[in-house]
Amino acid sequence: MGDEVNSTYVVLGGHVEADKYRLLYFLIILTIYILILCSNSVIVYLILIHQNLHEPMYIFIASLLLNSVLWSTVIYPKLLIDFLSEKQIISYSACLLQFHMFYSIGGSEFLLLAAMAYDRYVSICKPLKYSVIMSKTTVSILLILAWILPASQVAVPAGLSANKKLCSFILKGVFCNNTIYKLQCVVSRAQIIHDMVILINVALLPVLFILFTYSRILIITYRSSREVRKKAAQTCLPHLVVLINFSFLCAFDVITVQLDSDFPKTLRLIMTLQLIMYHPLFNPIMYGLKMKEISKHLKRLFFPAKQI
């Protein structure tokens, strides 16, 4: 039964007039993918080579941007192949792998943002203990947990789905997300509960933690000097904007599955492309422009003549 399911091919039915606009789709997605790789990699490179950026805050930013590259790589190469293919298909086993990688890396995004929030909290609220609390060991542990915890938890529903009987072979999307549940004949209550637990662990709890830490930062900085408030705003605002942006996109990913056939196919494709295009480009722009030290190194890299 398991071998039969795993050898099954699924049609990616979310494409709109792929034959007619094949080359246009390919060029747009290829351009966006190159921009994502370049923009994120440049900032990661700057953080690696400059000693003054070897601080926990910038290490977390580099990890977040690397996470965006990984997240995009899970989707874009397959998407580019599909636009050049006559049929947009994927094996069910490969679909489950993409499903696993998409949500485990997405979960890592929330946990990395939570780690960044904790770093800002310690820096602003406990500055005298910062170097002790945010040691290299602490940073390493937080990074490892951010990548391992979601991957290990999402592996369970992916593994359970491998042997599920399929009653449909047309996926209403251009890549494998939680719409794969619509292919299965039966989705058990235990599976739904387990997915809700994962959602709480890797998304809801980190978001609540982030909101709590930033509320504490807001209360403490409100009582402090203007300089402290300015510093807090410069370092915390980009993180909050990225969190809000990513949270809305993830909420859309969940909602579209519930709407199912009531959601227009063209609109679904447009919104899906927003999810995979907008956020990976938004992060480097936000951190590159709003983080003072990173912005300074970017100007030196691209406009060296003006620094003389």
Q: Where do the domains of the chain lie, and which CATH numbers do they carry?
A: 2-307 (1.20.1070.10)
C-alpha distances out from residue 214 to 17, 174, 221, 252, Å: 45, 36, 10, 25
Name the nearest CA neighbour of 278 among 301, 302, 244.
244
Residue 163 pLDDT exceeds 90: no
Residue 262 pLDDT exceeds 70: no
pLDDT tens digits for 225-248? 777 677 777 777 777 888 887 887
Integer-rounded Cα Rg, in Å, for the chain is 21
Name the nearest CA neighbour of 254 among 131, 61, 115, 102.
102
Residue 76 pLDDT exceeds 50: yes
Look at residue 114 in the predicted model and tell me its pLDDT.
Answer: 93
CB 83 within 8 A of CB 22: yes
Look at residue 75 in the predicted model and tell me its pLDDT.
Answer: 93
Give the pLDDT band of residue 5 (cuts 50, 70, 90).
very low
Structure tokens at 117: 């929030």
What is the pTM (predicted TM-score) of this model? 0.88
pLDDT tens digits for 83-124? 888 888 999 999 999 999 999 999 999 999 999 999 988 988
CA torsion, ordered 180, 185, 191, 196, to nearest 10 deg: 50
